[in-house]
Structure 1
Amino acid sequence: MTSDARNPRACLLGTGRALPAAQENAAPSDAPPADGAPSEASAGRGRRRAAAGETTSDLAARAARAALDAAGLGPRDLGMIILATSSGDAPMPATAVYVQQKLGAELIPSFDLSASLTGFLYGLSVANQFVTAGTLRHVLVIGADLLSRRVDPRDRAAAALFGDGAGAVVVGPAAGDGRGILSVSLRADGKKADVLQVPGGGSAEPLTQERLADRRHALRVNHAELRRAVEERLGVQALAAIEAAGLTPADLDWVIPHHADAHLAGLLAERLGCPTQRVFGALDAAGASAGSVAMALDEGLRDGRIQPGHRVLLCALGGGLTWGGAVVRV
């Protein structure tokens, strides 16, 4: 939360997004069905997949350039780059340094942040603190994932849920007109770490031929537990973020969750007591993990549905488990 939600000191100066050029089916047609698969209406048919040779840093850099252009700034105006991702270009170094290189930014701090689908909100919170404190003037926050390369193709439900994409914002000083980051409220529950995870490839399970054969390097999802967590946690945290901003649900113009799912939209609308029409569903952004919320925000701003001065709730839940909400006046 900012020190004074009614007088924010950091705001979103520009937004951007990037999608792969290719568009493919959510799962191979010959893959076996999986328990807990989402309905066809909400599974994200036509989810975009990165082309061969396309990397997370490629999409992140494209989204970043769009956000910088919207802010009227250049890479050399940045004081920091924060990249939220669970599918970086490599285990080491941080993918953010590749983004820094591709943008041609100065020798500024550039690092990755891992909080699954909630990563963008975690990054937004970090940027907000730096700008609000006056330590930095402009911070680039990117959420980007290529989870199509983490998914086990035998898990049709996961393949349907997760795709590729990147969204970015430039955070800078607020103008004193009431627009800005009004609150950020975050949570995590490590006791639920196995609900959404990639178990192999780290220090606990270095990859071996046996673990590769068992696909321990692929994304594993407990779909029933993940759905239950979303239903139990997301609305509660959304209300916490709204209260921290000094607002009520009636004050919101839009609600942007991490997935364009009709069931999730209905649950959030019911919990917040708002019309489902105010729950923003951007199908291209759905399933892009850390990129989803930022991509949907950019889409709404660029197509005119989200207008300057609108109050927007951003909310997400992902592996960790992590979840959170943020209220911004754009």
Structure 2
Amino acid sequence: MTIYAKIIGTGSYLPPKRITNDELAAILAKQGVETSDEWIRTRSGILARHYADEGVQSSDLGVKAAEKALEMAKCQANDIDMIILATSTPDFFGGFPSTACMVQKKLGVTSNCAAFDVQAVCSGFLYALSVADSFIRAGVYKKVLVVGAETYSRIVDYNDRTTCVLFGDGAGAVVLSASDEPGIMATALHADGNYGDILSLPGKLSNGVVEGKAFVYMDGKAVFKLAVTWMDKVGLEAMGKAGLKNTDIDWMIPHQANLRIMQSSARKLDIPDEKIIVTVDQHGNTSAASIPLAIDTGVRDGRIKPGQNILLAAIGGGLTWGAVVAKM
């Protein structure tokens, strides 16, 4: 019997503090940085983003999303065999101990559960999903919790309007279960460190001191060009592995970074705009959390239905990029 990894529960969480474009523009104006709702909206499609309160960590957001996913899956926390958490904003510097272990602790999961982080920036959730799929298909684990959780509001430079207006905080999660019904049908992952300097967090730790500015840096034009090209190619690769065509895809759920990138990528795949799940307008770029946030939104509002095929695609710092095709 073929074993599949099937999504049986989804969850998401956005911290209560919602900052609209106008509110952010007013905050930035006080420190001499000019922007506006129109400038942000026309370039990114973002209308608002959410910020975690001081003292709230990525694991706290991840736990909230995980609890909702577990509830939908009708699972108890101790039913989970493994937790894989994707983040670029871990609770502790260097991810030591891992944020996944903090989620394990806060959920009250026993030590029979394995837990670790994955760092592939905005592609992190797809990398984590692929790892979970491999463990389940190999028969090693039966239930895996995959989480994307980020607090990007702490690593953006609020003097740089090209990046600070784009990012927000949030978390999303899915519960994968071993199943004899098709679930994740294909994955495709890639990376190229030669492009690492166009999207990075350049600060370095030396003898306990951070050298340089530990803020997100992005060459927007270069990232845009590569994102549209590579998300198209990796999407075709994953669909080919799954034996599907673009017409077989019910929903494309790209990384929610920029509406223009999302629409351009879908257009190259000949997937119409009405088949794209878009949530970037409400929470901005939440990096590894963005795809599970969008999946949960589509499931809970009834657009994504059992038996439908979804295409997930992302590009992130590294550079990393990937795609996953799954039957819900």
1:97 — aligned with what? 101
Residue 315 (structure 1) shift: 0.7
Give the Å deviation of 1:197. Answer: 1.1
- Asked whether the 8 Å contact 2:310–2:327 carries over to 1, the reply is yes
Match of 1:226 in 2: 223
Quote the residue 1:24 is aligned against.
Answer: 19
Normalised TM-score (structure 1):
0.90
**Counterpart residue number, 1:241:** 238
Counterparts of 2:260 and 2:187, CA distance in 1 = 24
Residue 199 of structure 1 corresponds to 202
Q: Residues 285 and 14 of structure 1: is their aligned pair in 2 closer, same or farther, counting only changes over 3 Å?
A: farther
| 1:260 CA drift (Å) | 6.2
Unpaired segments ≥5 residues, structure 2 = none
Query: Residue 9 of structure 1 aligns to which amino acid in structure 2?
Result: Y
1:163 aligns with 2:168: yes
Query: For 1:124, which of 129, 145, 150 is the aligned residue?
Result: 129
Residue 317 (structure 2) aligns with: 319
- Residue 134 of structure 1, CA deviation: 0.6
Structure 2 partner of 1:82: 84
Residues 299-308 or 157-166, more deviating: 157-166
Q: CA RMSD in A?
A: 2.0
State the AA in 2 paired with 1:111: F
Aligned 8 A contact 2:5 2:136 in 1:
yes
- Match of residue 300 from structure 2: 302
- For residues 320 and 202 of structure 1, the distance between their equivalents in structure 2, rounded to whole angstroms, comes to 18
Per the TM alignment, residue 29 of structure 1 is displaced from its structure 2 partner at its CA by: 2.8
Residue 53 of structure 1 aligns to which amino acid in structure 2? G
**Aligned AA (1:87):** T
Aligned pairs for 1:242-281 (under 5 A) are 242-259=239-256, 261-281=258-278
Deviations 1:187-237 (A, max 9, x none): 00100111111111335x9635xx4xx5x1111111121111112211111
Alpha-carbon distance, 1:51 to partner: 1.2
Question: Match of 1:190, as an amino acid?
Answer: G
Report the CA distance shift for 1:326/1:38 in structure 2 as closer, same or farther (over 3 A): farther
User: 8 Å contact 1:285–1:291 — kept in the other structure?
Assistant: no
Alignment-derived partner of residue 185 in structure 1: 188
What is residue 66 of structure 2 aligned with on the other side?
A: 64
The CA distance in 1 between the partners of 2:141 and 2:3, in whole Å, is 15
> Given that residues 252 and 310 in structure 2 are in contact (C-alpha distance below 8 angstroms), is that contact kept between their aligned partners in structure 1?
yes
Q: What percent of counterpart residues are identical?
A: 38
Letter in 1 for 2:53: A
Deviates more, 1:51-60 or 1:37-46: 37-46
Separation of aligned partners in 2, 1:15 and 1:38? 33
Paired residue type of 1:99: V
Q: How far does residue 186 in structure 1 lie from its aligned partner after superposition? A: 0.6
1:59 offset after TM fit, Å? 0.3
* DSSP 3-state at the match of 2:46: coil
**Segment drifting more, 292-301 vs 222-231:** 222-231
Amino acid at match of 1:227: F
Aligned to 1:293: 291
**C-alpha distance 286-325 of structure 1, shift in aligned 2 (>3 A):** farther
Structure-2 residue corresponding to 1:217:
214
Going from structure 1 to structure 2, the CA distance change for 1:260 and 1:227 (only over 3 Å counts) comes to closer
Q: One-letter code of the match for 1:309?
A: G
Secondary structure of the equivalent of 2:304? coil
Q: Distance in 1 between matches of 2:3 and 2:141?
A: 15
Aligned 1:31-46 pairs, distance under 5 A: 31-33=32-34, 39-41=40-42, 42-46=44-48
CA contact (8 A) 2:307 2:327 kept: yes
Q: CA deviation at 1:43?
A: 4.7
- Aligned partners of 1:254 and 1:245: how far apart in 2? 15
1:72 Cα deviation from its structure 2 partner: 0.5
> Displaced runs of 4+ in structure 1, greater than 6 A?
none
**3-state DSSP class of the match of 1:29?**
helix
Question: Secondary structure of the equivalent of 2:165?
Answer: helix
TM-score (norm 2): 0.91
Q: Which ranges in structure 1 are unaligned for 5 or more consecutive residues?
A: none
Deviation at 1:14, TM superposition (A): 0.6
1: distance between equivalents of 2:39 and 2:174?
30
**Aligned CA distance change for structure 1 residues 311 and 38 (closer, same or farther; 3 Å):** farther
Query: Letter of the aligned partner of 1:112 in structure 2?
Result: D
- CA 300–260 in structure 1, closer or farther in 2 if over 3 Å, else same: farther
Counterpart position of 2:155: 150
